[in-house]
Amino acid sequence: MFSLALHGGAGTIARATLTPALEADYRAALAAALATGTALLAQGAPALDAVEATVRSLEDCPLFNAGRGAVFTHDGHHEMDAALMDGASRRAGAVAGVRQVQNPIRAARLVMEQTEHVLLAYPGADELARAHGLPMQPAAYFFTQQRFDQLQEAIAAGRMQLDHAASPAPDPNWKKGTVGAVARDQRGHLAAATSTGGMTNKRYSRIGDTPIIGAGTWADARCAISCTGHGEYFIRAVVGYDVACLMEYKGLSLAEACRVVVHDKLAPVGGEGGLIAVDAAGNLALPFNSEGMYRASRNAAGEEQVDIY
Ligand code: ASP
């Protein structure tokens, strides 16, 4: 028995402007990532391998705000954050502000397995990836015209924004969504992985919640969590760890703990977004307080779902 959930970002996803063709593209990409992780878990692979592979598949898809489709910083660059955590051992690895590694989630795993550290940032993180032979890419690989136009609009509006958050006229062609995955493998071990380009028009060197262990990414023996949304709020709410604490100290179920954090704590203060979560029994929760969240899952009974709203 195993289960897997993934997300491709949460935010305002205007129904009116999401064309059938574009929606089909998103659904296909989410289903493909789900198939990647599911195939590994079905073979008995560890949860950590499954979430890494799932996130890699989403990083390589230009539809999502991670890896290839990462958004622009205010000064016109890409700075990507990623993290993963193994629940059984509580080992974790993360990178922040990387600009060249094709798959930031692979770099995060290198930090976990090849260094004594948890979080490496900026050129040193890219250098580690290069030294270990990970594929590196020039800035052009991460360039898309839509993302660039999105930056110009965000600058004109004078704010940092979720790449898919409300703008006067949400453009369906904007590339969307931080990505993440959580899994429970056949041995009952849990893992979480998250990867993002961050927020459009962010100040250079800004780091979001994604690579902050306990905020955007968390896994222990009880639950595994991957978040998406306005990172500053998720950091201050220590979202991932708060879910784990509500389960451990208050005895809440996974679903109830997630509901409290996403709807009772984040929503009232403007912390737009959502998360995906799995517990040791393989239960899944995918709550969000935004209009939509790209997501897919396969529960312990083998039922698969792909949803946007
Ligand atoms: N949480 C990400 C960040 O703040 C953005 C997102 O999930 O869309 O960097």
Q: How far apart are CA 292 and CA 152, in angstroms?
A: 24
Task: Give yes or no for a contact between 190 and 278, defined as CB atoms under 8 angstroms apart.
Answer: yes
Cβ atoms within 10 Å of 110's Cβ, excluding its own: 21
Taking CA atoms only, the protein residue closest to ligand 1 atom 7 is: 228
Say what the pLDDT of residue 282 is: 98
Specify the ligand 1 atom closest to the Cα of 228: 7
Say whether pTM exceeds 0.75.
yes
Which runs of E-coded beta strand occur in the chain?
Answer: 3-11, 80-86, 91-98, 119-121, 179-184, 190-196, 217-219, 223-229, 273-279, 284-285, 292-298, 304-307
**pLDDT, tens digit, for every residue of 181-191?**
999 999 999 99
For residue 230, give the ligand 1 atom closest to its CA: 4
When pLDDT is averaged across residues 266-278 and rounded to a whole number, the result is 96
Q: Is 165 in the pocket of ligand 1 (CB under 6 A)?
A: no
Assigned token pair, 274: 């959502």
- State in Å: Cα 177 to ligand 1 middle: 8
The residue among 61, 115, 103, 109 whose CA lies nearest residue 84 is: 109
- From the CA of 202, give the closest atom in ligand 1: 9
| Helix 47-59 / helix 104-114 crossing angle, nearest 10 deg | 150
Judge if the beta carbon of residue 112 lies within 6 A of ligand 1. Answer: no
Q: In what order do the strands lie in the sheet with 3-11?
A: 119-121, 91-98, 80-86, 190-196, 179-184, 3-11, 292-298, 304-307
Mean pLDDT of 111-133: 98
- Ligand 1 atom with the smallest distance to the CA of 234 is 1
Active site residue 54: no
Ligand 1 binding pocket includes 271 (Cβ within 6 Å): no
pLDDT at 239 exceeding the cut of 90: yes
pLDDT (average), residues 218-242? 97
Domains within the chain, CATH numbers bracketed: 3-307 (3.60.20.30)
Give the mean pLDDT of 282-292.
95
- Whole-number average pLDDT of the chain: 93
Angle of CA points 234, 240, 241, to nearest 5°: 115
Tell me, using a 6 A CB cutoff, whether residue 178 lines ligand 1: yes
pLDDT at 25 over 50: yes
Q: Ligand 1: does its nearest atom lie under 6 Å from the Cβ of 231?
A: yes
Judge whether residue 222 has pLDDT over 60: yes
- Quick one: which of 52, 48, 132 has its CA closest to 91? 48
Q: What's the 304 CA to ligand 1 centre distance in angstroms?
A: 26
pLDDT of residue 41: 98
Which of 54, 178, 194, 217 is the catalytic position?
178
pLDDT of amino acid 220: 98
In angstroms, rounded to a whole number, what is the distance separating the alpha carbons of residues 106 and 101?
9
Query: Which residue type is seen at 127?
Result: E
Residue 19: the pLDDT is 87
pLDDT-based confidence at 175, cuts 50/70/90? very low
